[in-house]
Amino acid sequence: MSFSYTQIDNPTGTGPFTFKPPYSEASELVVMGYTGKHWSPLSVASVDAQTVTLSEATDNLRAIRISNNASKVNAAITNGSDGNMLDENSHLHDALQIHVEDPTDRTGNSPMTPEGITIGGLKNHIGREAKGGYEFTGGFADRLSGQSGANDLGEYVQYTQAMSDAGQWMRFGFSSAAQSANDSPYWTDPTPSSASGVGLFGGSYMPAGVSSMFDFSFDVASYSNAVNSGNLQYTAATGSYDFSECKAGDLALVRFDFNVIPQFANTTLEVALIWQTRATDGTPTYTFPLTTQPIFFGEGTVGGTYLNRPIISAYFASNEDVNAVALPAIRANNQIQVSPLTTLVTIQR
């Protein structure tokens, strides 16, 4: 039998739902529900001509598909997602057999459900595993006002001449209180996820397998304490970017958004991540500034306000990089005022 289906978007209740595909026996019909992540079979209560009534309500589903070839769908050989369907006469059409983890799971927790194990479904599953993503926060401890992503308001902190003379980096740490206050979604459609403890986007756009990209309460002496001597000096700061759920081979692009007010002409501002690689048990291995292109403020810039959004890249060559902690920092050859605003972390794969 050929394969066809009727799709109903945003279904409600248990039906009856009207469908078009012809059939000979009710056992040929199968109804699949789409959670937004996966297709899974739904229990049919009754069939009457070209209508079907389900055993459970569909209000939590984004779509249902009523198909007329249950054997093909249950064997996970058809593809109802991207039109890349196998020809009915192909030997692969009946030979391909793939076991699924839980064909009754409609929660999206089972990565391999019947219509997911198709030609298009396999592509999509592989794509999800390789999928990058991003998260965004304004949870800097020094940002006491403003709203993440909605404005560039914030407080200025002073990078002093003494810091400049010592070549010290001024780090900008995170705090849970600032994150809670500043990461307030400014949109309503789509409904925003909870930002609490996560970031402005509530984890909606994070990479596959990643649930956290910031640790707002990280406080370990070997990294959080100030260093006031030696070749690498930096101020005390708590919090860290969190790459612990990333993997070797990932690439991080960290954007740091901040305002500055130059106080002297011909000021060169350096921007970096103070990066500390660590062993699995948290033992530090190397600490260094991961810098980007310097920013120069020449004649006529004194007293002006300038918004900067430099991007710093970091590759994960090993698990020491995955376990790394990091914070954004600046240093300059003159004193300067800085107002940290937001940071966007993107993981590419």
Q: How does the average pLDDT of the chain come out, rounded?
A: 85
* φ, ψ (nearest 5 deg) of residue 74: -65, -30
Alpha-carbon distance of 165 to 349, in angstroms, equals: 40
* Model confidence band, residue 75 (pLDDT cutoffs 50, 70, 90): low
Residue 127 CB-density burial (10 A; 0-12 exposed, 13-18 middle, 19+ buried): exposed
Q: What is the pLDDT of residue 106?
A: 43
- Ramachandran quadrant class, 176 (left: phi over 0; alpha: psi -120 to 50; beta: rest): alpha
* Model confidence band, residue 67 (pLDDT cutoffs 50, 70, 90): confident
Query: Which residue carries 């705090």 as its tokens?
Result: 175
| Span 185-242, pLDDT tens digits | 999 999 999 999 999 999 999 998 899 999 999 999 999 999 999 999 999 999 999 9
* Model confidence band, residue 27 (pLDDT cutoffs 50, 70, 90): confident
Average pLDDT over residues 34-58: 89
User: Would you say 208 and 129 are in contact if contact means Cβ atoms under 8 Å apart?
Assistant: yes
| Span 81-111, pLDDT tens digits | 434 344 444 433 333 334 444 444 444 444 4
Stronger pLDDT, 72 or 110, i.e. the higher one:
72
Alpha-carbon distances of 38 from 64, 106, 111, 158, 279, rounded to whole Å:
11, 8, 7, 51, 37
Highest mean pLDDT among 49-58, 61-70, 73-82: 49-58
Concatenating the DSSP letter of every residue in 275-304 gives EEEE-TTS-EEEEEEEE---EEE-TT-TT-
Query: Which residue carries 């529900």 as its tokens?
Result: 33
* Chain-centre distance for alpha carbon 292: 23
Average pLDDT over residues 244-249: 93
* Model confidence band, residue 152 (pLDDT cutoffs 50, 70, 90): confident
**Is the bond leading into 111 cis (omega within 30 degrees of zero)?**
no
Q: What is the pLDDT of residue 116?
A: 45
Residue 162 has pLDDT above 90, yes or no: yes
- The residues with which 116 forms a beta bridge, in sequence order, are none
Q: What is the pLDDT of residue 320?
A: 96
User: Would you say 248 and 322 are in contact if contact means Cβ atoms under 8 Å apart?
Assistant: yes
Residue 332 has pLDDT above 60, yes or no: yes
- Please name which of 37, 8, 32, 36 lies closest in space to residue 20, comparing C-alpha atoms: 8
User: Would you say 246 and 346 are in contact if contact means Cβ atoms under 8 Å apart?
Assistant: no
**Is the bond leading into 16 cis (omega within 30 degrees of zero)?**
yes
What residue type is assigned to position 87 of the chain? D
* Model confidence band, residue 79 (pLDDT cutoffs 50, 70, 90): very low
Average pLDDT over residues 339-349: 95
| Span 112-150, pLDDT tens digits | 444 444 545 545 545 555 689 999 999 999 998 777 777
